[in-house]
Amino acid sequence: MKIDLHTHTDRSDGTDSPTELMENAKAAGLDVIAITDHDSTEGWKEADEAAKRVGITLVHGIEISTKLGGKSVHLLGYEFDPGYQPLAIELRKIIDGRNSRLPATLERLQGLGIDITADDVRARSANAAAMGRPHVADALIELGVVKDRGEAFERYLTPGKPAYVDRYAADLPTVIGLVKAAGGKTVLAHPWSRGSHRVLTRDRIRTLAEQGLDGLEADHNDHGAEDRAVLRQIARELGLVWTGSSDYHGTGKVDFPLGSNTTEPEQYRRLFG
């Protein structure tokens, strides 16, 4: 049984529609796929219909932008009630924060002599719930300023670079509480990617487990072999589930194909069984 619990569609910064994601997941030989767009559940309904049609098990999920100790941390939430208002309100705040920083981002790029407008970004994010940095990156590619998203982040969009603008992110323990209150499960996405070792220490993960965290995404393309083994060990010690996922973004991210990391059936059953 092949299980992939972290993927994106064009409802956030992936490039497949939810229907295409289900078709591609089936073609990749997956039995179970989670749709986990950034801060949005907009793709769930279309994915439901397509999953039924192609014959694949769909897990309803989300990847929520949070902060812990001033650092960005991504939290995967699964099978929660999207109508639970305290969580829905928080998600709205995150989406609004992403949209409202766009003018400042564009002003900085224009200040660097790049002729980019909000319409350019809108054209790259037609189906998305919010305009994020990856869509700005896509507009920069279209304008011939950079060759891919990686270069756009490296040169302009990552913290410390000239067009980076901070945005609202929810407090991690608060969000874990909200997803749990909405009847869902919570897993830390790529806990040790991009230097988050420093904030997500073993002690901090223990505290989060006490606050209701269910699991750690150990197998992720951003983690080396040693980090994966240590994360699995921490999960064992704390009684947490460990997962593995692709973090597929369609053509938006190379080297993250569907099923490139998978979750063991036993861990899947611990989480949802």
Nearest CB to ligand AMP, comparing residues 197 and 202: 197
Examine residue 39 and tell whether it contacts Zn ion (CB under 5 A).
no
Examine residue 215 and tell whether it contacts ligand AMP (CB under 6 A).
no
Q: Which of 86, 111, 150, 183 touches ligand AMP (CB under 6 A)? A: 150
Q: Which of 26, 60, 124, 133 touches ligand AMP (CB under 6 A)? A: 133
Nearest CB to Zn ion, comparing residues 7 and 263: 7
CA dihedral of 155, 256, 224, 226, whole degrees rounded to 10: 150
For residues 139 and 143, give the distance between their C-alpha atoms in angstroms, rounded to a whole number. 6
What residue 228 binds from Fe ion, ligand AMP, Zn ion, none (CB within 5 to 8 A, per partner kind)? Answer: none
Residues making up the chain, counted from first to last: 273
Examine residue 133 and tell whether it contacts Fe ion (CB under 5 A).
no
Nearest to 134 by CA among 93, 94, 88, 98: 98
Q: Burial level of 28, CB count in 10 A (0-12/13-18/19+)?
A: middle
Q: Which stretch binds Zn ion (CB under 5 A): 9-17, 88-96, 196-204, 226-234?
A: 9-17
Chain positions 11 to 70 lying near Fe ion, rule: CB under 5 A, are: 63
Q: Which of 132, 184, 191, 215 touches ligand AMP (CB under 6 A)? A: 132
CA 272 vs. chain centroid, Å, equals: 20
What's the closest the beta carbon of residue 95 comes to ligand AMP, in angstroms? 10
Examine residue 124 and tell whether it contacts ligand AMP (CB under 6 A).
no
Examine residue 247 and tell whether it contacts Fe ion (CB under 5 A).
yes
* 60 C-beta neighbours (distance < 10 Å), count: 19
Q: Burial level of 192, CB count in 10 A (0-12/13-18/19+)?
A: buried
What residue 132 binds from Zn ion, ligand AMP, Fe ion, none (CB within 5 to 8 A, per partner kind)? Answer: ligand AMP
* 186 C-beta neighbours (distance < 10 Å), count: 24
Q: Which of 60, 74, 124, 223 touches Fe ion (CB under 5 A)? A: 74
Q: Which of 124, 149, 185, 228 touches ligand AMP (CB under 6 A)? A: 149
Q: Which stretch binds Fe ion (CB under 5 A): 40-48, 139-147, 148-156, 182-190?
A: 182-190
Angle value at C-alpha 50, between 48 and 55, nearest 5 degrees: 95
What residue 153 binds from ligand AMP, Fe ion, Zn ion, none (CB within 5 to 8 A, per partner kind)? Answer: ligand AMP
Examine residue 242 and tell whether it contacts ligand AMP (CB under 6 A).
no
> Are residues 64 and 104 in contact, defined by beta-carbon separation less than 8 angstroms?
no
CA 110 vs. chain centroid, Å, equals: 28
> Are residues 115 and 227 in contact, defined by beta-carbon separation less than 8 angstroms?
no
For residues 103 and 76, give the distance between their C-alpha atoms in angstroms, rounded to a whole number. 28
Examine residue 13 and tell whether it contacts Zn ion (CB under 5 A).
yes
CA dihedral of 66, 253, 25, 270, whole degrees rounded to 10: -30
Residues found near ligand AMP in the complex (CB under 6 A) = 13, 38, 98, 132-134, 149-150, 153, 158
Residues found near Zn ion in the complex (CB under 5 A) = 13
Residues found near Fe ion in the complex (CB under 5 A) = 63, 74, 189, 247
